[in-house]
A and B are shown apart, each in its own frame.
Chain A
């Protein structure tokens, strides 16, 4: 502190030692409730320690206390922003233990919902980066478009955020009338808007200067910490669960995963992570078009599972590619009414471990940019 409020004394010399500042648990720069203990030399960060756990809800334990079918709504809260991926990973795990073959139509509907959620999550990411660099205009543009994607989720599932739409062996309902046309319309609109985002961000020198060479994650560093998803791909690691361990029929879709190229500065910097999300939005548009055009006919739900649903003893580990990275679920069943143990491998945790290293050497004004560019999901890290 500059002035000792207790004694009211004013030091007559200029303090030039390190400044300590505890940012959080609630602060505009943070993606959720967390704390960053900073040591600053002038405006340059010399040390940062991350403290989390403010959002712990005992989610894994809660799953053990509920019958199998009641667990799905809880999974929406693993990461509320990308709710469908929590449901998906649990459904896949249960289906693996039970040995259910999900009908192709249901799989494709899951893919459509997952890709729509990924779009909304990436648009939310862009909005958070826009807020971090202090440009409200872009924030509003992006949120306006994100609403359109959420409208689609609402049209199909009746809910914008917590979908509660997946079931073991399929989905709750078939595609709503008019949904496919609306998906086409919306992704066409997003393709046009991508150009707008490029004008506002990618070709904006001021934005590039704020994000290039900030918070660099090298591919070795990413591998060392187990960073996955867009952040690892921005660092140049060609790893995507949709390609490496295809699920829900992703192997039938034709797509290439984009990698960071280090256009503005260094490979794996905040700008690269941002541009990669833009490319993933373009990829999501392609995937959605393919998925909608080739929607197979057939049931959307395994009819035989309606009554007396039981899970035999066994365990399974499945992984999906969530918008933030590889989301894994280790599920153990002892043949009882409830899950015996559920454990998640969330993509945010390795990123939180990376934060102190990324902050050091950066400036205080880079803190929001770095945190936003990592796309941290505090809800899933604390769960």
Chain B
């Protein structure tokens, strides 16, 4: 009740103020009515200047989907514009630097979810209208070839001969190298065929050619670390494959018989060849030598070297030359065997206990120093003449 009366009082007072101010408006903006001083204020009704954040909204960026589900699209067509990745590019779609999703293949638009990324939404392109995305995980991909053959023969020929700049520049060098390699091969082939005609005298020219080609191939395989038996069978296999292909192209009616005949001939020929020919350590052809025979020969060489080495009467320098020539000119020992022989017979200083003398001994002919790793100090080693095999 008191609140209501209070309101009435205020209202009355305000209406009283209104009436008095209206009367005095023409005379004075400030009036003194019954002892109350009133200042009249006119507030602004128009805004003078804008605030700092005013007028800063850009036009809409036209974001959102540009295509509908199952709509046919072309390559490069934009499917979705967005800020950030609301959608991810699915199959046959890709994403631009402003996250715009576009088509990589012509097809039909699919908006889909993928169980492999349960939190992502994808937009992809199905290549056929009846296909659903994602493609089942274990099914083969559906792929579009897209390339068309060049129908015009001359244009096709031109395109086939057309090389990239890099290959075009490399081509003359490659051809040159091929030519050089062929020349080298021909020289070797010639060498082999001459050797073959000596080793197997009554061999026809054709057979000679066949065999020398075979041994050339075997040589390359041996050089690359294959075993002899393997390389032989590779050579046979390739020859047989070649004659088979050759016969197939002739479209002979009796291919099978002809092939069997040729095969039989070749197998007999190589049997003859492989039983009368071996390779030496520089891949030259030599008369057949079984592995055991070769080892025997190496043993013979060893004993021969031994007797020369222990010969006290001859000049040591001459002996050294003799041993050198025997070892280096031997064409049967492998590299390891040669190294062993060298370390055995061509070392200047004999192995340790021979010829070692006391430092103070007068027989000594040379003194050398050597670091002793066990005692961590320098050993002084005195040797007499005995410890030197050669000067």
A binds B: no
A residues whose Cβ falls under 8 Å from a Cβ of B? none
